[in-house]
Chain A
Amino acid sequence: MSENPPMEAARYPDGSILYPSHPVGPDGNEPIETVDLSEYTAEVITWTSSTATPPGVRQPNHIAIVEFDVEGEPVRAIGQLTTGDVEIGQQVEPVYVEELREPGAGIREPASQTWDGYRFEPV
């Protein structure tokens, strides 16, 4: 078992899995369990390298939308990449990072949310 916090998605009664979780799912019901996406690999759907980044964000900021396959259920996620050397269709795995951007450097109240999470690294 990893000692890192889970990359927590939520499974809903209709079988759908959403990341991040929402109070209710597409069927209007509350989630029935959590799924740790850090145990899976994902496919890059699209990516970009952003050079005009806001305060407290690395520059350039490589970002991807990826799709996990959790026992046949597609689950989309977004997050930073560890590299800008990536292609659509490539497999990536989540890598834990304690601080994705500098809390308090931007407009968002630091205490209002978490700042750790997972970057995606090509497998």
Chain B
Amino acid sequence: MERVAIIGASMTQFGQREAWIRELLAEAGQACLDDAGVEGSDIEQLYVSNMASGEFEGQTGIPNAVAHDLNALPAYTARIDQTSSSGGAGVYGAWQSVASGVSDLTLLIGGEKMTHRSTAEATDVIASLTHPAEYKHGLTLPSFAGLTARRYLHVHDAPRESLGKVAVKNHKNGVDNPHAQFQKEVDLETVMESPIIADPLRLYDFCPITDGSAALMFCPESVASEYTDDYVTISGIGGATDTHVVHERMDPTVMGGVVESGELAYEMAGIGPDDIDVAELHDMFTILEFLQSEGLGFFEKGEGWKAIEEGITDRDGELPINTSGGLKSKGHPLGASGVAQVYEIYQQLMGTAGPRQVEAETGLACNVGGFGNCVITTIMEAAQ
């Protein structure tokens, strides 16, 4: 199996954009081609991570459209949809294409255009991933988060403020990310007094609705030096699924897909949780940062909330989590998020994260689809 390198990366401004999905994807794609120093016509495979361009915008067939827009014809192309983890699944697909020896140069672009829809409409498009037995009761992803957060706080005797501190930390990190949707700090009092969205969770416990795109360029490590002296490698990657019907999980505070995908990624990389220097977790809701940090073995079950209280996950802590600002501050354009997580780890390992820079040789990104229904965990290392 070929060892896979990432030799270029880009992301657009996240937030409310005038551009539509094709333009967003092309913007990130062209920037990634420029960053890697390759032409569109050099691309052998092109993957597009996107959850719902047809439902949001009425634009389907985007892989071919973007291949044409980037002059990447006749590259093989496909859209990868795994709901909120479409980006991570795209990383997995692009990695497979190179690791298998099928492609020597693969471009991955993830993107979503959402903000032209009302919050209710966007919520419903995302909730359409639910089982009919859930959908007819009006279940949404935020309501799953509220159900889980209440159970977590109850079982682990954790203070409600600990969830609020996740929002405070990630907003603080987002201030130094020029691509982030929100580049402003919030204080705990603001978080705790914001409107209830899914009791006990409030407005600032949730990520925003976002437009944006991000891209990565993959090649075999054996030829990476032909493009650049500096690159990162994917040393481990794992994908896993959990029940479609969320309530069937006997412990609502455990995401099995996180645990399984993490174990697969650690095994492939030949390392463990203690070897991770920096991580991007899927904080679509503040409670998810606790569930993932425990599921990935950073902290014992039920102890994730203590890490935020002790500052361990701060940017200057022992294990910085979401230095980008996370989905919470950076924004969550569904198909782009998993790609943008890897973009942040790439920047950290390359030493190009600017004011967000932390000391790191090994990083991890965990991208969650649905409410833990599908999960991709990716481990990366700086090139030696």
Q: Footprint of B on A, CB under 8 Å? A: 18-20, 45-58, 61, 63-65, 74, 76-80, 84, 88, 100-101, 106-108, 112-117
Contact = CB atoms under 8 A, between A and B. Distances in A.
B146 A50 contact: yes
A48 B137 contact: no
A32 to B, nearest CB: 19
A18 B245 CA distance: 10
Contacts of B198: 48-52
A48 B143 contact: yes
A78 B135 CA distance: 11
A20 B132 CA distance: 9
A54 B138 contact: yes
A88 B137 contact: no
Contact of B199 (A49, A65, A106): A49
B136 A49 contact: no
Task: List the 3 shortest-distance A-B pairs measured between CB atoms, nearest first.
Answer: A48-B146, A57-B138, A54-B124
Contacts of B248: 18, 76
Given A76-B247, A106-B124, A112-B132, A100 B137 contact: yes
Contacts of A80: 137-138
B128 A107 contact: yes
Contact of A46 (B128, B137, B151): B151
B136 A115 contact: yes
A107 B200 CA distance: 27
Contacts of A58: 138
A113 B133 CA distance: 9
Given A49-B198, A100-B136, 18 more contacts: A20-B132, A46-B252, A49-B146, A51-B195, A51-B198, A52-B140, A55-B120, A61-B138, A65-B147, A78-B247, A88-B150, A106-B124, A107-B125, A108-B132, A113-B135, A114-B132, A117-B136, A117-B137
26 contacts: A20-B131, A20-B245, A46-B151, A48-B143, A50-B140, A51-B198, A52-B198, A54-B138, A54-B140, A56-B138, A63-B138, A63-B139, A63-B143, A78-B133, A78-B247, A80-B137, A88-B150, A88-B151, A100-B136, A100-B138, A106-B127, A106-B128, A107-B55, A107-B128, A114-B136, A117-B137
